[in-house]
Amino acid sequence: MTAGVNKRVGSSLKPWEDNDKAYMQRLLDKLHVHFIDTVKLGRGDKLKPEVAKAKMEQLYGDSMPSGCDGLFDGTFYEGTEAVEVGLADLTGDLRGFMKDRHPGAIVVPIKTNFYDRLLTRILPGMMTSAHGAFDDGRTGLDSLNVDSVALFPYLSWK
């Protein structure tokens, strides 16, 4: 049972009907436009569409699909190529980035309880930081960056 005619659209428990596909395609098309606008706004002049298109032409040759631009057509790149086409500024890892940005930082282990670890694994991205929300008096933390702790539960940058 469901409440609403579109509640089960996209469900793996029922076959996709034509109207389900049309509904989802309209939604994806709108999201794609928002994505393109957001990337263009955020990356601005750093984007290199001519480099991306040249990469696609080199890859496909004469059989390049129409609408293939190498930036907003679903193409994905490894790190160095993402830098070349302007989708990224540099390659590296979080630890190296943090050491470059905060050369005096000291890596200290943090103590978390079971519930802290569970929440940071099921809620990453839903919260950017929790000021004291996980501090039960045992951790001594004033704030906890949920996204960072989810990736590196044993690190804290001070």
- Please report, for the chain, how many H helices and E strands are present, in that order: 6, 2
Distances, alpha carbon 33 to alpha carbons 43, 62, 72, 102, in Å: 15, 27, 9, 37
How many whole angstroms separate alpha carbon 11 and alpha carbon 27? Answer: 15
Residue 143: which of 128, 130, 158, 156 has the closest Cα?
130
Q: Are 15 and 37 in contact (CB under 8 A)?
A: no
pLDDT in tens, 73-105: 999 999 999 999 999 999 998 888 888 888 888
Enclosing H/E stretch for 108: strand 107-108
- pLDDT tens readout for residues 139-157: 444 444 444 444 554 444 4
Residue 45 scores a pLDDT above 70: yes
Judged by phi (left if over 0) then psi (alpha if -120 to 50, else beta), residue 112 lies in beta
